[in-house]
Amino acid sequence: MPRTHHGITFVDDYEWLREKDAPDTVAYLEAENAYTAEQTTHLKTLEENLFQELKGRIKETDMSVPVRQGNFWYYGRTEEGKSYGRSCRMPVIEGQDAWLPPTITEEPAPGEQVLFDANELAEGHEFFALGASSVALSGNFLAFSVDTQGDERYTLRIKDLRSGELLDDVIESIGAGVTWAGDDYLFYHRVDDAWRPDSVWRHKVGTDVADDVRVFHEPDERFWVGSGATRSEKYLIIETSSKDTSELWFLDMADPTGEFQCQLPREEGVEYGIDHAVIAGEDRWLVIHNATGPNFEIGECSAGPFQLADLNVLVPHRSDVRLEGIDPFAGHLVLGYRREAIGRIALMKLDPGYTSFVEMSFDEELYSVGGGGNPEWDTPVFRYSYVSYTQPASLSLLNVATGERTLLKQQEVQGGYEASDYVATRRWVTARDGEKIPVSLVHRADLDLSRPNPLILYGYGSYEHSLDPSFSNMMISAYDRGIIFAYAHVRGGGEMGRRWYDDGKMLKKKNTFTDFIDVADALIADGVTAPEMMGAEGGSAGGLLMGAVANMAPDRFAAISAKVPFVDPLTSILMPELPLTVLEWGEWGDPLHNKDVYEYMAEYAPYENVRAQNYPNIMAVTSINDTRVLYVEPAKWIAKLRDVATGGEFLLKTEMAAGHGGVSGRYESWRQAAFELAWLVNQVSGLEA
């Protein structure tokens, strides 16, 4: 099938696979699944071992730490043998500490109420995902949304928590989010034909959905609409934003049927966000924006419409610090930012006006830290989560007044895990243009590093998304088999600030690919690994990275695992009717109207650049109902690799009842993860058990 743009014709022999419901397409995908199963039969023992090891490390019957909202403590429960969790609450008991969460055991807590059991909601569905789950401030009503197809189109229901009855209100085919305004009204998003949230609607509880009122509509297809409430519960905020421009509207919660006011009219290239604070008794806006520099600045002004010139600088722009957000509370502010490729937080006490920020410090070099559930405006404590490559996730409580820290819970790793048995290090690789690329390596502490070892190199490098340190129960099994896991923090991500992102997007996208290859070359040159024992892994936009490096440097890797890979970007971005395409022009460029962008993308698009050469073995995993990266992209890619490549084994696995995030249910997700890791472990190490 020919495709002609800007006088350039590309012949696509596999475009027929786009007909999702055609019998030939379904039969093709099912045949591919059967072939993949046949080609991986020898890995069944390894796959089962990995699954059992993962399952054995996880405390299957467990409870989350309760978080206070209003007069209740809210928490979740999981139960051994059940795929999904239960959402519960218990009343705050008079006389107990108002902010120290109660200890929840496996037995029902005093006054415990089950808000919903996701296992019951999932019954009869091959796929299930929870979208929104929001309790009205009064505690009387719960709004929740579910997706039973994997296409991220949600159905919203409302439950009266006093009677336990579901109301007749049913709102279908909407976005995931929902925001309450009192007990009478809630606000939600609708999506257009391209799956873009383009409007905000107001629903009055107990009325016909046909009477819902559209309160905001965004006609510009480059913009995505969201909404929410300030933590103070004083204002409702609507945000409409493209990849590089934003505009916010606000409404006093006391008048939910009133008119939203524009905070600051959009200006191309200016991004901003706001939240409400009370400083020395006065309502103020805290505004984060990039009008004065790419790494953002934080200013403040009186609440109401404003101009950037009205702002008083609270946190100035710095070239070495990327400001990411500020969260106001009644008595303190929490600042999130990124420095030296690590996300950090600092707190400021309000006394009653502004004082100074104090950064929270931790012992490890490589870690992730962030807020850990703090919905209450007037809380005197700050809950934060902490995790590293070797330390399981923990939740702690900081007394803002005294600085005292209290560990509330750390993820339990069953089976005798010792963090000291593993080590995480950071090294810097010099890219071909002189840029320094951070690389994180994780492995057993007793691994013999005097010789090359099997290694899995992971990358993403798009949307300013940062690969922050995280803990993986599954990867322990790889470490224990002598495998190193490495993260290449390539350009296009956000690890080193906005410039890092800008240098890996649009007409600089190739930096993402060459950075990854340069990291691989450095690991080989330093004797950390060797091409015959190195695998690469990435998903979604990271799958585009996998496809590009497979074409550009096939001899560096033994195998490549590509999950829901965006490997046919040019075809997709030339079709504005597809989900999210126009939004994506801000990330990749607009090849439909710009010949330079078209030619640049055509030079790196993985599918279009498959050629007659030896490739590493490649496995692509996709989902039939994925709305973000359509199944047809990896299906066409694998088909073309088989027909054109002169060497390499190519496998395609399509989940026939799943979306962009893969299969649903924790046990099915664990099995899928075990299958994918078994293949990659075998490819880089030869192990079959």
Question: Active-site positions?
Answer: 540, 626, 660
Cα gap 308→292, rounded to integer Å = 10
Name the β-bridge partners of 397.
383, 406
The answer to whether 368 and 469 have CB atoms below 8 angstroms apart is: yes
The distance of Cα 436 from the centroid of its chain, to the nearest Å, equals: 25
DSSP letter string over 181-238? ETTTEEEEEEE-TTS-EEEEEEEETTS-GGG-EEEEE---TT-EEEEEE-TTSSEEEE
Work out whether strand 261-262 and strand 272-279 pair parallel, antiparallel, or are unpaired: unpaired
352: preceding bond cis by omega (within 30 degrees)? yes
Work out whether the CA dihedral 552, 556, 557, 561 comes out positive or negative.
negative
Neighbours of 409 (CB within 10 A): 17
**What is the token pair recorded at 102?**
């109660």
Residues with Cβ within 8 Å of residue 400, at least 6 apart in sequence: 331, 332, 347, 349, 380, 381, 382
- CA proximity to 461, closest of 561, 552, 557, 538: 538
Cα gap 46→44, rounded to integer Å = 6
Task: Return the amino acid letter for 530.
Answer: A
What CA–CA distances, in Å, run from 450 to 447, 456, 526, 528, 529?
9, 18, 10, 8, 10
Neighbours of 75 (CB within 10 A): 21
What is the Cα Rg of the chain in Å? 25
Task: Return the amino acid letter for 247.
Answer: E
Cα–Cα–Cα angle for 148, 151, 152, nearest 5°?
Answer: 80
| DSSP 8-state code for residue 533 | G
What CA–CA distances, in Å, run from 480 to 53, 366, 663?
11, 21, 27
**What is the token pair recorded at 439?**
């690389």
DSSP letter string over 537-569? EEETHHHHHHHHHHHH-GGG-SEEEEES----H
Cα gap 349→403, rounded to integer Å = 11
- DSSP H or E stretch at residue 353: none
**What is the token pair recorded at 307?**
């101009």
Phi-psi group of 482: left, alpha or beta (phi > 0 → left; psi -120 to 50 → alpha; rest → beta): left
Cα gap 59→410, rounded to integer Å = 12
Name the β-bridge partners of 235.
252
E strands, 321-403, in order: 321-328, 332-339, 342-349, 357-359, 368-371, 381-387, 394-399
What CA–CA distances, in Å, run from 633 to 179, 542, 640, 647, 657?
35, 14, 11, 21, 17
E strands, 354-483, in order: 357-359, 368-371, 381-387, 394-399, 405-410, 422-430, 436-444, 455-459
Helix (H, G, I), strand (E, B) or coil at 55: helix
Cα gap 458→465, rounded to integer Å = 14
The answer to whether 513 and 485 have CB atoms below 8 angstroms apart is: no
- DSSP H or E stretch at residue 596: helix 595-604
Expressed in angstroms, the distance from the first to the final Cα of the chain is 45
Cα gap 278→105, rounded to integer Å = 38
In the Cβ-directed half-sphere of 115, how many Cα atoms lie within 13 Å?
25
